[in-house]
């Protein structure tokens, strides 16, 4: 493996292993602050009232911005109350009820000391979040209300071509954004490319909606939203990063989606080793829907994901054929590197002049329209 790939994969492992939850993304924010500190000469950044982070080049461009976007949260626990070794926890995110039963979790105090506990009950009807109770394996006097917890899983690792870690969704995509941006941030012609990292996506696109409504991002920005989306047979892990046409709520911007598809098709024609997919991915909802609802031109690129939201064998669990078990999420490393390549491609060539969809259709009609006559 090259030294460059070693650095990329080290960043990926570190970022996806950080504890995070909606509204409690501070560890990931601190990681981004460290990343920015070593690049301060060429970049500017600012955060809005919600905690969204916008990173842009100091060199200005007259072209409409391209913002590569990823969210910083993952379904997780937040400590609501502590009574000795007994905890009351909010669960912020979407996980089916059977996965909570007698599950082991780990909690982190302000110094990143780790404490294990086991879930003893679940109030699945509590609002706005499910409430779990848990009992600590040992006393934790440093644990406080507001601290973050997650499922107790194995250590993040890369092996046999796959990353297995606590939170691919969406931190693997955030890592791809950082790696791709590093590749183009000094490249002439990409001065209009920036990064947007949002918060609290897992509980209703809170960060994205706030950024859209407040004017934090320019109205003419093109948003390339990144996701990790549940893999299906028709969207396999290892089949390449995905140009996502839509989600369970909407279809994304047609012109932007098709332009990116054209770039990927041209790249795969030039290099058959470049693998990519174009899919709807209706298993969940994406920030591209939120931005599109507020008038932004937006689409999505995603990584096909195994053990979505740490739930293994979801369909079998739903049907009662298999007991629920939480697992590390997983992606193919080949898909991760394909997503980085796709982002560099889009950053460098999205605004190149090319044949329009209407021109392509006109040419197709001229070549084959005669079959419809006579």
- The DSSP-derived string for 28-61 is HHHHHHHHHHTTTTTEEEEE-TT--EEEEESS--
Tokens found for residue 27: 């560890």
Low-confidence ranges of the chain (pLDDT < 70): 1-2, 354-374
User: Which one-letter DSSP state was computed for residue 100?
Assistant: G
The reported pLDDT for the residue numbered 2 is 64
CA angle 356, 362, 368 (to 5 degrees): 135
Q: What mean pLDDT is reported for the chain? A: 94
The reported pLDDT for the residue numbered 6 is 84
The reported pLDDT for the residue numbered 374 is 45
Segment 230-287, tens digit of pLDDT: 999 999 999 999 999 999 999 999 999 999 999 999 999 999 999 999 999 998 899 9
Nearest to 349 by CA among 190, 211, 232, 221: 190
CATH number of 76-151: 2.40.10.170
Tokens found for residue 159: 């092996």
The CATH H-level (homologous superfamily) assignment of domain 3-74+156-357 is Zn peptidases (3.40.630.10)
Phi-psi label, residue 146: left if phi above 0, alpha if psi -120 to 50, beta otherwise? left
> Which residue is it, tokens 């995603």?
302
Please answer whether residues 93 and 76 qualify as being in contact, where contact means their C-beta atoms are separated by less than 8 angstroms.
yes
Q: Which helix (H) or strand (E) holds 117?
A: strand 114-123
Contacts of 360 by beta carbon, 8 Å cutoff, 6+ apart? none
Q: How far apart are the first and last CA of the chain?
A: 60
The reported pLDDT for the residue numbered 373 is 47
Please name the residue ranges forming H helices in the chain: 3-16, 26-37, 168-184, 206-214, 254-270, 287-293, 314-318, 333-349, 357-368
How far is 284 from 267, CA to CA, in rounded Å?
28
How far is 144 from 116, CA to CA, in rounded Å?
14
> β-strands 241-244, 276-279: how paired?
parallel
What burial class does residue 91 get, using C-beta atoms within 10 Å of its C-beta: 0-12 exposed, 13-18 middle, 19+ buried?
buried
Segment 331-374, tens digit of pLDDT: 999 999 999 999 999 999 999 986 655 555 565 456 555 554 44
For residue 53, report the phi and psi dihedrals to the nearest 5 degrees.
-120, 125
The reported pLDDT for the residue numbered 371 is 54
pTM of the model: 0.93
CB atoms near residue 4 (< 10 Å):
11
What's the order of all strands across the beta sheet hosting 276-279? 43-47, 53-57, 193-198, 66-71, 222-230, 297-305, 241-244, 276-279
Nearest to 64 by CA among 354, 296, 359: 296
CA angle 145, 150, 152 (to 5 degrees): 125
What burial class does residue 189 get, using C-beta atoms within 10 Å of its C-beta: 0-12 exposed, 13-18 middle, 19+ buried?
middle
The reported pLDDT for the residue numbered 353 is 82
How far is 180 from 241, CA to CA, in rounded Å?
14
Where in the chain are the domains? Answer: 3-74+156-357, 76-151
């Amino acid at each position: 493996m090259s030294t460059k790939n070693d650095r990329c994969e080290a960043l990926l492992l570190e970022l996806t292993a950080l504890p995070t939850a909606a509204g409690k993304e501070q560890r990931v924010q601190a990681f981004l602050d460290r990343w920015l500190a070593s690049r301060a000469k060429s970049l500017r950044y600012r955060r809005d009232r919600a905690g969204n982070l916008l990173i842009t080049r100091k060199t200005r461009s007259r072209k409409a911005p391209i913002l590569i976007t990823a969210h910083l949260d993952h379904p997780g626990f937040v400590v609501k109350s502590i009574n000795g070794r007994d905890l009351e926890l909010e669960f912020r995110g979407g996980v089916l009820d059977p996965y909570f039963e007698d599950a082991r979790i780990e909690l982190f105090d302000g110094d990143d000391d780790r404490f294990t506990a086991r879930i003893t009950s679940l109030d699945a009807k509590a609002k706005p979040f499910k409430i779990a109770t848990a009992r600590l394996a040992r006393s934790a006097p440093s644990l406080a209300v507001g601290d973050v917890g997650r499922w107790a899983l194995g250590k993040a690792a890369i092996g046999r071509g796959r990353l297995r870690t606590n939170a691919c969704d969406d931190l693997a995509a955030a890592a791809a954004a950082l790696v791709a941006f590093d590749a183009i941030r000094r490249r002439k012609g990409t001065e209009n490319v920036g990064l947007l990292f949002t918060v609290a996506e897992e509980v209703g696109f809170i960060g994205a909606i706030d950024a859209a409504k407040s004017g934090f991002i320019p109205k003419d920005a093109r948003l390339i939203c990144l996701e990790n989306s549940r893999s299906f047979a028709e969207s396999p892990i290892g089949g390449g990063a995905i140009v996502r046409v839509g989600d369970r709520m909407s279809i994304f911007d047609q012109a932007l989606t098709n332009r990116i598809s054209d770039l990927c098709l041209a790249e795969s024609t030039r290099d058959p080793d470049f693998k990519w997919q174009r899919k709807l991915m209706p298993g969940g909802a994406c920030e591209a829907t939120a931005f599109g609802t507020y008038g932004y031109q937006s689409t999505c690129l995603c990584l096909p994901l195994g053990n979505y939201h740490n739930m293994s064998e979801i369909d079998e669990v739903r049907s009662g054929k298999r007991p629920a078990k939480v697992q590390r999420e997983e992606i193919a490393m080949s898909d991760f590197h394909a997503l980085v390549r796709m982002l560099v491609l889009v950053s460098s060539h999205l605004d190149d002049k090319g044949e329009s969809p209407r021109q392509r259709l006109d040419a197709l009609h001229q070549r084959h329209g005669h079959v419809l006559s006579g």
